[in-house]
Chain A
Amino acid sequence: MSNAKAQVLIVEDEPEIAELIEFHAERAGMQARKVHSGRIALDVIKREKPDLIVLDLMLPDLDGLEVCRKLKQSEDTRTIPIVMVTAKGEEADVVAGIELGADDYVTKPFSPRVLMARLRNVLRRAGIADEPAPTTDRMVLLDGKLIIDLDRHEVMCEGRKTDLTLTEFGILHYLASRPGFVRTRDQIISAVHGKSTVLSSRTVDVHITALRRKLGSMAECVETVRGVGYRFSEGTRDEE
């Protein structure tokens, strides 16, 4: 991203909520534009390629998940980050959205501050994600308190070597390679075991529990996102 203002497209059919998001986005130095329907959103996105999309999932014409699917299917729009705005009790939609490739979400009623923190994080990560994946064999995380050595298949937790099973190591590596990104159980399974696995998504919980126990005082770096999945802590937490 250059010095130009980040372009944010707000897809929200409730005009006052859209105006609220617009107010905060512009205050944060972004350039915001609002659309109230999924179809219009697709047109505008194809034409203007915004840097970020704030997408309400409950839209009158084309539902938000469908918009998300269409954007992720198209080569032009696949990489544009999406933050979903959804309602509590619609975790199934959040899971579906994240599996489609959405980056993050907030639930209504949301705090504008939390939403803006998410938007900034996603923009920042999008900048990182453009770079090729790190070729280093060692991942140094959380100010060096956690080191994942891919070569030796070893994890150093606050200086002490921690024995992890193959699956636990795989999960930790997968989550830690994109801090802050929520991953659903199904995503974790296919990343760690390959798509053909017949493991139930609840086995992931068992592995996570074991992993946290072994991480000891660092256990909190693997965060539960209730109803959705897990993510690796970004170190700095959003205020909620």
Chain B
Amino acid sequence: MIPSGSIQSLAQAAASAPADGADAAATGWIAAAIVGSAWLGSSLLRARSQRRLERALLDDESSLREDERFPLLDRLASASMRRVRVERQRQSRAFDRLAEIDRILRATPIAVIALDHMQRVISANPAAERLLGFDETSARGRLLQEVVRHPALNRSISNAFAAEGRFDGELHLELEQPVEVQICCEPLQTESQPPGLVVSLVDVTRMRRLESMRSEFAANVSHELRTPITNIKGYVETLLQVGVDNPAQMRRFLEIVHRNTVRLSGIVEDILTLAFLEEPEAKQSLARLPMPAGDIVRQVVEDLGSAANAKSIKVVTRLQTDTLVLANRSLAEQALANLVSNAVKYSGEGTQVTIEVADEGELVRLSVEDQGPGIAAKHLPRIFERFYRVDKARARTQGGTGLGLAIVKHIATIHGGRVDVTSQVSQGSRFSLFLPRAHTREGARAVG
């Protein structure tokens, strides 16, 4: 006979056994069965009561006969039963949790691949399939190098295994489109085998492109600002400290200082305009009114007439008097003025600049056509970028800021319009500004 103390302790042990899933539940139940069988002393009874006990523990306590309901066994049985119930709940929660993790891994844009210690694929999520172009089901169990052949990636993974599973870095992968990915490896701990590897890949191509555009812009700004400042500082210092005896030379130096001051203020002005146009609120707060497109053209021609006359350039306008645009007057004028002033700047003496207004469905086209040198096709996609220069030396002699066309594009965009350019080398260019069309003059009087 087993002393009751030890039975109690067994029962306690069963009830407080570590919650390690089914194993613990089995331990509790086996303990109960052993205790029960010792108490009843018959192998036949033992087998039967064991089954009954099992049933009772798992399903229905009341199926036990009265004479089986020994108080001690009872306590033991209900304790084990509680454990089983808890374990079942635990298991079902664990399944739910697994399903949840699976859903998360499927949804994340981060490519995640799990490898075992032999570099065989354990699993991979859809983002990994998409990024690296493979099928998870056929990849499972195969070496990663067999599934995807990217030397940079395979090298990083070898490095990670060499460094106890830890590796961070950035890779350039030559896929259909070249991509920049950030790779992060962490060891994958398993109970039975040496650690594997969890590889996470984040596509940072877009971010890197934006960063390089931003730093290119910053470098351009600083270069464009520094050049006039260097000239102003250098020539003023020369005039102040060295003194220049020759009056003609003195005048020339002052002219250089003046020209660079104008250039500097032009650049600052344009940068501020761009900054204003880029503010998210700019579009909402923009005061727009219906107005005849012809009014905008006439104003610009009046403002720039003298510059055109100076080069004997004939400005021809082809207007449709009844075409209305919905625009902010001063911005629309500035955009068109930038186009006309470029046309005048880059065209030869005695040529013609044609400004035309034409309906294009819901938009109105204001186009400026010149007979200048034209622009090679390779430059056309980039010509509206800030500081993009087709010919650096020529742009400098013309005194441009490099921001004029970027401003035109931004003005078109915040109006809900667009820009366009066509050009033939040595024949001329046609720049177009599209503004939304207005159908009624209502409110136009308020423009004054």
Contacts and interface: CB of A to CB of B under 8 A. Distances in A.
Contact of A17 (B234, B237, B238): B234
Contacts, number: 56
Given A27-B242, A60-B393, A110 B223 contact: no
A108 B233 CA distance: 10
Q: For this complex, into which size category does the number of interface residues on chain B fall?
A: 20 to 34
Interface in A1-52: 13-17, 19-20, 23-24, 27, 36
A17 B393 contact: no
A112 interface: yes
A87 interface: yes
Interface stretch (B30-38, B224-232, B434-442): B224-232
Contacts of B238: 20, 23-24, 112
B233 A58 contact: no
B222 A20 contact: no
B58 interface: no
Contact of A108 (B226, B237, B256): B226
A109 B222 contact: no
B398 to A, nearest CB: 14
B423 interface: no
Nearest to A19: B256
Contact of B241 (A16, A87, A113): A113
Given A110-B230, A113-B241, A89 B392 contact: no
Given A20-B238, A24-B238, A60-B393, A109 B223 contact: no
B367 interface: no
B227 A112 contact: no
Interface residues of A, number: 22
A14 B238 CA distance: 18
Contacts of B233: 109-111
A188 B393 CA distance: 40
B235 interface: yes
Contact of B231 (A16, A27, A36, A89): A16
A87 B237 contact: no
Interface string A93-136: 00000000000000011111100000000000000000000000
A109 B229 contact: yes
A109 B393 contact: no
A87 B234 contact: no
A160 B223 CA distance: 50
B237 A112 contact: yes
B401 interface: no
B273 to A, nearest CB: 25
Contacts of B231: 14, 16-17, 20
A113 B237 contact: yes
B341 interface: no
Given A23-B238, A112-B234, A113-B237, A60 B392 contact: yes
A13 B222 CA distance: 16
B429 interface: no
Interface string B208-248: 00000000000000110011011111110110011000000
Given A16-B256, A20-B235, A109 B230 contact: yes
Interface string B339-367: 00000000000000000000000000000
11 contacts: A13-B393, A14-B231, A16-B256, A17-B230, A20-B234, A24-B242, A58-B223, A87-B222, A111-B233, A111-B234, A113-B237
Interface of A: 13-17, 19-20, 23-24, 27, 36, 58, 60, 87-89, 108-113
Given A24-B238, A108-B226, 14 more contacts: A13-B392, A14-B230, A16-B235, A16-B260, A17-B227, A19-B256, A20-B235, A88-B222, A108-B230, A109-B232, A109-B233, A109-B234, A111-B233, A113-B241
